[in-house]
Amino acid sequence: PLHLPLPGKAWLLREPGSLMFFLRMELPILQDGRLLGSLTATMPLPAVSVFAAGSVDRHVGSAFVVCARSNAGTSCLPDRARFEAAGATKDADPMSMALRGAKGLAAARGPDGRAWMTAYAPVGETGLAFILQKPERVLFAPLIDTARNVMLALPALVLLGLALLRWQLRPMVRRLHDSEQRLRSAFDYSGMGMVLFARDGRIREANAALTDMLGFSVRELRALPSVLDLLHQEDRPQGTWSVADIFSDFPSAYCAQRRYRRKAGDYIWVRLHVSPVFNEQGQVDQAVAFVQDVSELLAKSDALRRQHGFLQAVLDNMTDGVVACDENGRLHYMNHAAELQQGRPMRPVEPPEWGQVHALRHTDMRPVALEDLPLWRALHGEVVVGAELQAVSDQGDTRKLQISSHPLRDPNGVFLGAVAIARDLTQIRLAQERLRWLAYHDALTGLPNRNQLFERIEQAGARVAHRASHVALFFLEVNRFKSINDTLGHAFGDQLLVEVGARLRAALHDTELLAHVGGDEFV
């Protein structure tokens, strides 16, 4: 390693097994104190690598000798006296080692006291050897000159590297700048509130939408001890847990609905979407929260829910059953009265399964086909008014219904489905049948009364006139009936009349009529 008067590192390198020298330098590239990269340069040094004959010519004081073995011993050209004076033994001097096939470098101090470097090597298989000996001062002169030149050129190289780096980074910097501007514009002009907060909860940035929403300025928000100070007191425990989870070892985004405090002191409902923000090391050092004011939405939703509950209560308290389907025929709604009429609970079904929850029969108990159901007819655009059908529950109870159905359309005329309204006429029909029965029967004994007697007499008179037949009338009354009532009571008297009527009726044929015309009188 070498010492440089610059921020950086430098090494002097030598290729193993040769005299090729190199200078390697590594310089940092800085901008505003930030490390952008480094510049590394490796340059060869033409020092002792060019050794042959030109070595002696270029460097005064260098010695280049070629030696060979002969019968007379060892001969060299030029004289080898300088090498012998270098202080080496006869067997270990560079010439002897080179002639034995060895090669290498040796350092010694000559008779003049100067330090010499000696390079020796055989010349292939020729039996020759060469030795190059140079003073160390001469040997390292090119290296020193090269280092001096490099040091002089170093500022220019650094400036050139910086200019090249700037030219290469300019498009990237421009793209980063454009991207940052787009993000900043999206942050500042987003219609949704956005807040950036650190691990300690401190607010770093807030956009205009959030400040308008809460009434705080950005400076006032940054002055808060924590973003959690905006939460309602009841929401803080859950909010604290959620924020801690964002900055945990396994962070994940979350959505929540919280109450945020406004500067005026009131609270608004907001919907939060909080996501972690990762730094260059992959750690979460801040988080971004997207804040949407949902107070008005929740108020509308609550009003809609109340309206739905009100309408549901109205429908469930109706005595008429209501059944409705959507435009595809899927049965969606049945109020409480309709469930009682059908005798089974409501569940959404498709048209082929209507019979499972909406089965009807004709008055003669024949099943009503799907295409004849009033709701199905209304689904296909027909208006049905006053159709009388019957519903039979799973328990066998029969309800008499009067059904009207209509197509459903919104104010714009868009088809929505159909509705059928069923009025339970069971009690009305029973009352009507009871009235009709009472009109021609005695309520106490169940026998025909005076009205039915007179009609039957008229019918019998017509038959007599037409067929020349006879009619017999018997007038009967119970003896001492008044005394029985007075002594045993009217209830006992009523039981006596019922028993007398039953015994008299049992004594008659089917074609004969027994009527109770009042009091204790029978005809």
Residue 277 lies in a domain: yes
Asked if residue 349 has pLDDT above 50, the reply is: yes
CA distance 329 to 322: 15
CA distance 59 to 4: 28
pLDDT value of residue 19: 42
Which residues are CB-neighbours of 124 under 8 A, at least 6 positions away?
A: none
pLDDT value of residue 77: 56
The residues with which 285 forms a beta bridge, in sequence order, are: none
Asked if residue 3 has pLDDT above 50, the reply is: no
Asked if residue 5 has pLDDT above 80, the reply is: no
Asked if residue 85 has pLDDT above 70, the reply is: no
Residue predicted with more confidence, 270 or 364: 270
Mean pLDDT across the stretch 24-51? 66
Tell how far CA 295 is from the center of its chain.
23
Residue 166: band (very low, low, confident or very high) from pLDDT cuts 50, 70, 90: confident
Residue 183 lies in a domain: no
Residue predicted with more confidence, 418 or 249: 418
Residue predicted with more confidence, 472 or 3: 472
The residue out of 80, 114, 139 marking a domain boundary is 139
What is the secondary structure of 160-172 as a DSSP string?
HHHHHHHHHHHHH
Residue 198 lies in a domain: yes
| Three-state secondary structure call for residue 488 | helix
Residue 63 lies in a domain: yes
516-518 sheet: strands from edge to edge: 476-477, 521-522, 516-518
Average pLDDT, rounded, for the chain: 79
Residue 183: band (very low, low, confident or very high) from pLDDT cuts 50, 70, 90: low
Structural domain count of the chain: 4
What confidence tens digit (pLDDT) does each residue in 139-150 have?
667 777 777 777
pLDDT value of residue 186: 62
CATH number at residue 74: 3.30.450
Asked if residue 155 has pLDDT above 80, the reply is: no
What confidence tens digit (pLDDT) does each residue in 277-319 have?
888 788 888 899 999 999 888 889 889 889 888 888 888 888 8
Q: Looking at 22-31, 44-53, 225-234, 287-296, which range is the least confident one?
A: 44-53
Residues 108, 86 contacting (CB under 8 angstroms):
yes
Residue 477 lies in a domain: yes
Residue 34 lies in a domain: no
CA distance 84 to 74: 13
- Helices in 407-468 by DSSP H: which ranges? 426-440, 450-467
Mean pLDDT across the stretch 1-25? 54
The residues with which 206 forms a beta bridge, in sequence order, are: 195
CATH number at residue 380: 3.30.450.20
Smallest CA-to-CA distance from 405 within 298, 509, 324, 494 is with 324
Residue 165 lies in a domain: no
- Let me know whether 369 and 456 are in one domain: no
Neighbours of 128 (CB within 10 A): 14
Asked if residue 67 has pLDDT above 50, the reply is: yes
For residue 256, give its domain range: 190-298
Residue 267: band (very low, low, confident or very high) from pLDDT cuts 50, 70, 90: very high
What confidence tens digit (pLDDT) does each residue in 33-45 have?
677 777 787 767 5
- Let me know whether 291 and 230 are in one domain: yes
Residue 21 lies in a domain: no
Buried b (16+ CB within 10 A) or exposed e, 420-432: bbbbbbeeeeeee
CA distance 244 to 257: 17
- Let me know whether 229 and 260 are in one domain: yes
pLDDT value of residue 49: 38
Residue 125's Cβ-count burial label (10 Å; 0-12, 13-18, 19+) is exposed
Residues 368, 362 contacting (CB under 8 angstroms):
yes
Residue 13: band (very low, low, confident or very high) from pLDDT cuts 50, 70, 90: low
Residue predicted with more confidence, 292 or 68: 292
pTM: 0.45
pLDDT value of residue 498: 93
Tell how far CA 289 is from the center of its chain.
16
Q: Is the dihedral of CA 415, 416, 418, 423 positive or negative?
A: negative
CATH number at residue 484: 3.30.70.270
